[in-house]
Amino acid sequence: MSGKADWPLWEVFVRAKRGVSHVHAGTVHAPDAELALQNARDLFTRRSEGVSLWVVKSNDITASDPNDRESLFDPADDKTFRHPTDFELPDEVANM
Amino acid sequence: MAADTDALQKRFDQLIDADDRIEPRDWMPDEYRKTLVRQIAQHAHSEVIGMQPEGNWLTRAPSLRRKAILTAKVQDEAGHGLYLYGAAETLGTPREELLDRLHNGRQKYSSIFNYPTLTWADMGAIGWLVDGAAIMNQVPLCRCSYGPYARAMVRICKEESFHQRQGFQIMLTLANGTPGQQAMAQDALDRWWWPSIMMFGPPDSESVHGDQNTRWGIKRFGNDELRQKFIDATVPQADLLGLTIPDPDLRLDEETGNYLHGPIDWGHFWDVVKGNGPCNRERLGTRVDAHEGGTWVRQAATAYAEKQAKRATEAAA
C-alpha cells in the first residue's frame, strides 16, 4: 500500500500574479495535499511562474461529458444578440 | 500580537500603495473586509432586484426578437448577481446571510430599481441610461484592489455593452417612429433622466465613505466626476435621438467642454433610499416571495442529492 502507484492524482492551479485567477497548469502525484503542494511548487513554479498554488484531487473534479458538448454549448450559437456587435448603431455612437 | 498586526497592516498598505491586488487568503483590515462585503453585496442585490423592472415587460415585448433579447438581458442580470455573491463569499460571509440582509432590509440595493416601468420605451431608457450609468460606475471597478471583485467586474462589463446598445436601439427605433412612439420615448427619458444621474450617488462633498474607499483602491473616481462623464457622453446621444433632456438649466460650458446640469433633488433621492420610492415595497416583496416560493425546489434538490448519495453508498457496500 505504500508504493507510489497508490498515490492519488492532483490537479494543479497556478496564479501567475495578484489580480488574476488561478489557471490549470497540470497534475502531480502525491500521497497527501501537503506533498501535492510541494510537488506542484517544484514542478510548475521553478521559474517564478506563480505567486499562489491550488491543488485539488483529480477524483474530486466532476467534468462535463464530451458527448454532451453539442447539447450543452450549441444553443448559445444562435443567440448572437447576446453580443454587442449584433446591434447596429449610427457611427456617432459606435463606441457605446 | 499588536506587533504582528502592525506588520500585517504594513504589508497590506504596501500592496495597496503599489496598486497591487488583495486576494482572499491575504490579511486585510476588518474595515476593508466589511466595506467590501457591503459594497459587493449591495451590488449583487441590485443585479437581482434589477431583474424586476424589465421582467415586467418580458411577456409584452413587441416582437419575438425583442422578447429573446430582453430575456437574455434579464438572464445576464441574474448571472451578474451570482458572480458578485460569489466574490462577496470569498470574504467569509455566506450567501444565505447576504440574502437575509437583503430580505430583511439591512442591506440596500440601487434606488434606481424602485421606479416603475410604465411603457415599452422604459426598456429602451433603462438600457441606454441606467445601464449606461452603471457601466460608467463599473468600468473603474475592474481595477478595484480586491482581486475577486475586480475579476467579477471584468466579466460583467464585457456583458453590459450589449445591454446598453440594445436599449439605445429601442430608443432609436421609437425616435424614428410615429409621433406617438416619439412621445413615448420622450416620456421615458423624462422619467429616467434624473434617477439615472442620481445613480452616481450624492455629491462628493456629502459622500460618507468616499475618502477611505479611495485610499483603499476600491473607488477610483469621485461621484461628481463620473456623473459629469456620463452626462457629457449622453447629451449628444439624446441629440442624435432628437429627444430633449428634461433639465432646463443644462448647458454646454464652452471653457471646459462639460455639460453643466441643473440642481439635483437630493431630498427625493434620500426619500427613495429610505424606502419611500414608488416601488420599494413591491420590489422587496416580490423578491422575498420568489425566495420563499423557491423553498420547495431547494428542498427537493437537497433530498435528491441525499438519495443519490445513499444509493451510491449502498451500491458500494
pLDDT tens profile B261-273: 999 999 999 999 9
From the list B116, B56, B35, B58, the residue with the least C-alpha distance to B280 is B116
From the list B6, B9, B11, B13, the residue with the least C-alpha distance to B217 is B13
Count of beta carbons in the 10 Å neighbourhood of residue B61: 18
Min Cα–Cα distance to chain A from B257, Å: 18
How far is residue B277's CA from residue B111's CA, in Å, rounded to a whole number? 8
* Cβ within 8 Å, pair A87-B22: no
Share of chain B above pLDDT 70, in %: 99
With beta carbons less than 8 A apart as the criterion, state whether A84 and B167 touch: no
Q: If pLDDT is split at 50, 70 and 90, which confidence band does A6 have? A: confident
Q: If pLDDT is split at 50, 70 and 90, which confidence band does B317 have? A: confident
**Contacts B25 to A, Cβ<8 Å:** 52
Residue A81: how many CA atoms within 13 Å on its side-chain side? Answer: 17
**Contacts A83 to B, Cβ<8 Å:** 162
With beta carbons less than 8 A apart as the criterion, state whether B273 and B198 touch: no
Q: If pLDDT is split at 50, 70 and 90, which confidence band does A12 have? A: very high
**Contacts B76 to A, Cβ<8 Å:** 82
ipTM confidence: 0.85
At B6 the pLDDT is 94
Residue B237 near chain A (CB below 8 Å) = yes
At B3 the pLDDT is 73
Residue A89 near chain B (CB below 8 Å) = yes
Count of beta carbons in the 10 Å neighbourhood of residue A48: 8
How far is residue B62's CA from residue B64's CA, in Å, rounded to a whole number? 7
Each residue of A27-74: pLDDT tens digit?
999 999 999 999 999 999 999 999 999 999 999 999 999 999 999 999
**Contacts B151 to A, Cβ<8 Å:** 19-21
* Cβ within 8 Å, pair B164-A96: yes
Reported pTM: 0.93
Cell of B18: 503599489
Strand bridging mode A52-57 / B258-260: unpaired
With beta carbons less than 8 A apart as the criterion, state whether B85 and B149 touch: no
By C-alpha distance, the chain B residue nearest A17 is B21
At B1 the pLDDT is 57
* Cβ within 8 Å, pair B165-A19: no
**Contacts A87 to B, Cβ<8 Å:** 162, 165-166, 168-169
Each residue of A72-95: pLDDT tens digit?
999 999 999 999 999 989 988 878
Residues linked to residue A10 through DSSP beta bridges, in sequence order: A28, A57
Residue B215 near chain A (CB below 8 Å) = no
User: Quick one: average pLDDT of B44-58?
Assistant: 97
How far is residue B207's CA from residue A81's CA, in Å, rounded to a whole number? 38
With beta carbons less than 8 A apart as the criterion, state whether B73 and B61 touch: no
With beta carbons less than 8 A apart as the criterion, state whether A44 and A12 touch: yes
* Cβ within 8 Å, pair A81-B166: yes
Residue B257 near chain A (CB below 8 Å) = no
With beta carbons less than 8 A apart as the criterion, state whether B250 and B236 touch: no
Count of beta carbons in the 10 Å neighbourhood of residue B238: 19
Is the model's pLDDT at B253 over the cut of 70? yes
Residue B22 near chain A (CB below 8 Å) = yes
Each residue of B170-186: pLDDT tens digit?
999 999 999 999 999 99
Residue A19 near chain B (CB below 8 Å) = yes
* Cβ within 8 Å, pair B147-A19: yes
H/E element, B158 = helix B147-175
Residue A83 near chain B (CB below 8 Å) = yes
DSSP B146: B
Only one residue has cell 439635483, namely B264
* Cβ within 8 Å, pair B25-A92: no
Q: Which of B21, B162, B166 sits opposite A18 (nearest CB)?
A: B21
Chain A, chain B: beta-carbon pairs less than 8 Å apart: 59
* Cβ within 8 Å, pair A87-B165: yes
Cell of B273: 433610499
Within 8 A by CB and 6+ apart from B91, the residues are: B24, B33, B36, B37, B40
Q: Which long-range contacts (CB under 8 A, 24 or more apart) does B185-188 make?
A: B185/B121, B185/B124, B185/B125, B185/B241, B185/B243, B186/B243, B186/B244, B187/B119, B187/B121, B188/B119, B188/B121, B188/B122, B188/B124, B188/B125
Phi, psi torsion values for A15, nearest 5 degrees: -95, 115
Q: If pLDDT is split at 50, 70 and 90, which confidence band does B284 have? A: very high
